[in-house]
Structure 1
Amino acid sequence: MNNFSKLGFILATLGSSIGLGHIWKFPYMAGQNGGGAFVLFYLFLAISIGVSMLIAEMLIGNKAKTNPVDSFVKLEPNHKSTWKFIGIMAIGGPLVMTFYAVVLGWVLYYLFVGSFNLPTNLQEAQTSFETLATGSLPIQIAGFLGCMLLTGYIVAKGAKEGIEKLNLILMPLLFIIFIGLLIYAITLDSFKEAWTFMFSFQPEKITGDVVLSALGQVFFALSLGLGTILIYGAYANDGENLLSSSLWVVISGIFISVVAGLMIFTFIFQFDGQASGGPGLLFISLPLAFSQMGVFGNIISFLFMLCVAFAGITSTVSIVEPAIAYLRDRFEWSQAKSTWVCCGAITIVGLFVILSITKDYGALFTFFGINLFDWMDLITSKFLMPLGGFLTLIFASYVVGKQRLKSFTQGFLSPALFEIWYIIIAYLAPAIIAIIALAPLFV
């Protein structure tokens, strides 16, 4: 097994966690749900619960040194094969990829086409996005296939030559471009308004719904419950300081989210003044704001979408790797063969996912009032990821056991820190995941 270098492991894990949701979801949630109070609350949850869960999943992978399915069997004291079913989390990545690659295809379109043909008014911006998302089937398929081919090409090269090299290049570039755009944003008059929008301290806005949303964002933003962190832990060197690695990942991810938010809302308030949530922020509000900058707006749009594409592609390579590792080990296939078989299956399903959101074919792929695109999102985010994360914590806490975990963490957790960490993963984090999963039934 080709192991990551220390820096490569941190950047690969960071690349996995920094995705499209970081760039459009976190900033808008902060602005609408308490500003600075939300940011501090999220930071507390991410450093306590998020870091603890990262360490648990990394640790299982690092000690087992195999794919997500076999890791649980290997670490179970009696090697009972029953525990391999926790590895079902590995199928979550390919399912996520069926719709994530569609959205990344939109990003690629806005990067190479939309940045040079910016809308001049809100109606044009909305129409352009709606046409792409629900009507332009050839363009959607081309973007999706481009994403799948790029992902397959990188992952087929393996952990060291493919995933690590990608992140060693793209993650520093993402930080450099984002900081450059932030410096430009600081020079604009609306930067103060953006700062106020994101950081005005409003604890009264922290409601029960906001708490649940923040907890869910911590969980999903860190790629937990998909086997991604586990397999990256397997590729890390023995003796890796998993505490410092986890802190780097969490704090760097929050930094990118905050920078993205300040930059996005500065541009929107300066040139447009309308901020929508979700994909509309990225594909409607921002292009319209960029268009008000003249020719310079095309450059800013290209650089920004390039960052979003970087964040997206570093996530896609991590999303599929757990399933590929299983195929490689189970059938003794090469990394390349495992990659292309997995990506081929994702592509077939993904084409139906694309059809499900089009005007002409959507009804054929809509079940119980929900189209296939939303079903994939629902199954993974509301079921597989929470279940995978919950079972991983239970396995680490009660099957691997406290004493073995203590011996595993002696190199990077003091006795006092270990006790705190164990309380979190054995009691607090499982309870929180259960709350996140069950809350929609009662809200």
Structure 2
Amino acid sequence: MNSRSNFSSKLGFVLAAAGSAVGLGNIWRFPYLAAKYGGGTFLLIYLILAITFGFTLMIAEIALGRKTRLSAIGAFKSLDKRFGFLGILASLVPIIIFPYYSVIGGWVIKYFAVFISGGVQASAGDTYFTDFISGSVEPIGWFFLFMAFTAVIVLCGVEKGIEKVSKIMMPILVILTIIIAVYGLTLDGAMEGLIYYIKPHMSDVSAKTILAAMGQLFYSMSLAMGIMITYGSYMKKENNLESSVRQIEIFDTGIAFLAGLMIIPAVFAFSGGDRSMLNAGPGLMFMTLPKVFASMRFGGVIGTIFFVLVFFAALTSAISLMETIVSVFMDKFGWKRRFTGIFVAVLACIMGIPSSLGFGPLSFISWMGMSVLDIMDFISNSVLMPIVAFFTCIFVGFTIKPKTISDEVKATDGTFKAEKMFNVIIKWVAPVFLVLILISSVASALGLFTI
């Protein structure tokens, strides 16, 4: 059996776990949903859910990992054999996400290369992005490059690779986000976007807004992917688990908030307040923002910094996805880290090719109007993740009991300040919300109604 690596400090654990949570979901998905679902209203609901629902699930997952010293595929089974299936389901999520996520990571490197080489005006062309992703050779080349970056870091191991990189990346990520956000707020017309983004309107509160915020929380905080269980398995007993989770939440939510702050006011400024530009989804970053940067003074510099920021965010999340998969195979088969890392990288490259070609040569493959990449995203994020989180709540709430998690949290200093809230949410509140998310996501994809 392989000896298990450990993070050298609480700071190392928090930064690595926060690096996992902060990713493309924070940079383009959070601002898009905030814009679509009422700006400040969405933001307020998200913050409330983060400190309640998100906190509860993250505590449960990290505690499960630290208690068992196993990745998701072994953690559930070690505590109750009947729930061995849950470890398999949780492990499938990153296996599905990692390849297509790396495809998008490749797009980010492509745009960074374009901006640093002075191609700002070219990237602002109406068809530039679609022409690029509809190719066959170039998108795969950038995808493989992003995969290579990720694999090298993971192959270096937990402390030498992930922890050291996260200690550098996370502070830079925060600094760059603040710089761009402050710059964006100086633009003419940006104040209208700022007011829309931070001012809640209670008339906008609806079931759809709450469900959208819940779904984003899931995606953003790396929940129900086995990632936090894996990271918890590397956490030392002397590190305070509850305060660590709070700090991870602050990092993740703070970056998401700043991402909205740098994107929404800027789009308002350059669109004359036309909110339809905010409905572009991933296109908001790859299609709209180059136009914004092309209109800015020193736009090439600002755009280059922005895509460095996005690359860091994408890479830290990709590292955690790959590390989770590597940990699963090592725990299951007893393989060495180097061999396992190479195997996972090759497997992900093969699995990611259809997603990369899905906008070009394989565009004929579609389901309900979704491309190959969209299908993979739907299966992992809208189906498997709510199912995994629901059964995790049932497992903790009614099988091993919340006390098992509470005892693990208290193992450091005997305290668990939010224990009462945790017990109520894990048993009664979270399962109901998760069922609603699953039903609404599937029904929306099938065209029964639109969220």
**TM-score class, shorter:** over 0.9
Provide closer, same or farther for how the CA distance between residues 412 and 418 of structure 1 changes in structure 2, counting only shifts above 3 A. farther
Match of 1:173 in 2: 172
Residue 37 of structure 2 corresponds to residue 36 of structure 1: no
Per-residue Cα deviation, 1:250-309 (whole angstroms, up to 9, x for no partner):
222221122122212333333454533311210111100111124x10000000011011
1:208 matched to 2:207? The reply is yes
The answer to whether 1:288 aligns with 2:291 is yes
CA contact (8 A) 2:185 2:266 kept: no
The answer as to whether partners of 1:271 and 1:290 remain within 8 angstroms in 2 is no
Structure 1 residues 37 and 374: alpha-carbon distance in aligned structure 2, compared to 1, 3 A threshold: closer
Percent identity reads 33
Deviation at 1:132, TM superposition (A): 1.2
Structure 1, 252-261 or 40-49: larger mean CA deviation: 252-261
Contact 1:242 1:412 (C-alpha < 8 Å) held by counterparts: no
Over 3 Å counting, the alpha-carbon distance change for 1:290 and 1:406 in structure 2 is closer
Amino acid at match of 2:108: V
* Corresponding position of 1:145: 144
Q: Corresponding residue for 1:188?
A: 187
Kept after mapping to 2: 8 A contact 1:60/1:396: no
Q: Structure 1's 356 and 175: CA in aligned 2 closer, same or farther, altered over 3 A? A: same
Which amino acid in structure 2 is aligned with residue 326 of structure 1? Answer: V
Alpha carbons 1:101, 1:148 under 8 Å: kept: yes
Give, in whole Å, the separation in 2 of the partners of 1:405 and 1:281: 40
Quote how far apart the aligned CAs of 1:412 are: 6.3
Deviates more, 1:190-199 or 1:278-287: 190-199
- Give matches, 1:153-168, under 5 Å: 153-168=152-167
Maintained 8 Å contact 2:102/2:146:
yes
Structure 2 vs 1, CA of residues 350 and 221 (structure 1 numbering), >3 Å: closer, same or farther?
Answer: same
Q: Counterparts of 1:25-174 in structure 2 under 5 Å?
A: 25-76=29-80, 80=81, 82-88=82-88, 89-114=90-115, 116-119=118-121, 125-134=125-134, 136-174=135-173
In 2, the alpha carbon distance for the partners of 1:64 and 1:404 equals 11
Secondary structure of the 1:352 match is helix
Please give the per-residue CA displacement for 1:367-411, whole angstroms capped at 9, x wherever unaligned: 576432222111101222112212222222222223333322324
Does residue 424 of structure 2 align to residue 428 of structure 1?
no
Q: Do 2:72 and 2:226's aligned partners in 1 also have CA atoms closer than 8 Å? A: yes
Amino acid at match of 1:177: L
Instruction: Specify the alignment match of 2:314 in structure 1.
Output: 312
1:226 alignment partner in structure 2 = 225
The structure-2 alpha-carbon separation of the partners of 1:179 and 1:113, relative to structure 1 and needing over 3 Å to count, comes to same
1:368 and 1:284 map into 2 onto residues whose CA distance is 24
The aligned runs of 1:328-407 (5 Å cut-off) are 328-358=330-360, 360-363=361-364, 365-366=365-366, 370-407=370-407
Q: 1:15 aligns with which of 1, 7, 19?
A: 19
Post-superposition Cα deviations, 1:166-196, rounded to whole Å, max 9, x if no partner, equal: 1111111111111222332343333322311
| Alignment partners' CA distance in 2, 1:314 and 1:42 | 22
Aligned-CA RMSD value? 2.0
Which range moves more in the overlay, 183-192 or 277-286?
183-192
> What is the TM-score of this pair, normalised by structure 2?
0.91
What residue is the counterpart of 1:248 in the other structure?
247
Q: Which residue of the other structure, out of 319, 322, 325, is the alignment partner of 1:323?
A: 325
The count of aligned residue pairs is 433
Q: Quote the Cα distance in structure 1 between the aligned partners of 2:226 and 2:48.
A: 24
Gaps of 5+ in 2: none
Please tell me whether the aligned partners of residues 31 and 199 of structure 1 are also in contact (alpha carbons under 8 angstroms). Answer: no
| Distance in 2 of aligned mates of 1:21 and 1:166 | 20
The structure-2 alpha-carbon separation of the partners of 1:416 and 1:307, relative to structure 1 and needing over 3 Å to count, comes to closer
SS in 2 for 1:188: coil
* Structure 1 residue runs without a partner (length 5+): none
The equivalent of 1:299 in structure 2 is 301
Query: Taking structure 1 as reference, are residues 120 and 108 closer, same or farther at Cα in structure 2, changes over 3 Å only?
Result: closer
Q: Does the Cα contact within 8 Å between 2:129 and 2:287 map onto a contact in 1? A: yes
TM-score w.r.t. length of structure 1: 0.92
Superposition map of 1:409-420 within 5 A: 409-410=409-410, 411=412, 414=415, 417-420=418-421
Task: Supply the distance in 2 between the matched residues of 1:341 and 1:120 (Cα, whole angstroms).
Answer: 38
Tell me how far 1:125 sits from its aligned partner: 2.9
Q: Is the 8 A contact 1:272 1:285 kept in 2?
A: no
Contact 1:10 1:245 in 2 (8 A): yes
Aligned positions of 1:265-284 closer than 5 A: 265-273=264-272, 275-277=277-279, 278-284=281-287
User: How far apart are the structure 1 equivalents of 2:224 and 2:174?
Assistant: 26
Letter in 1 for 2:323: E
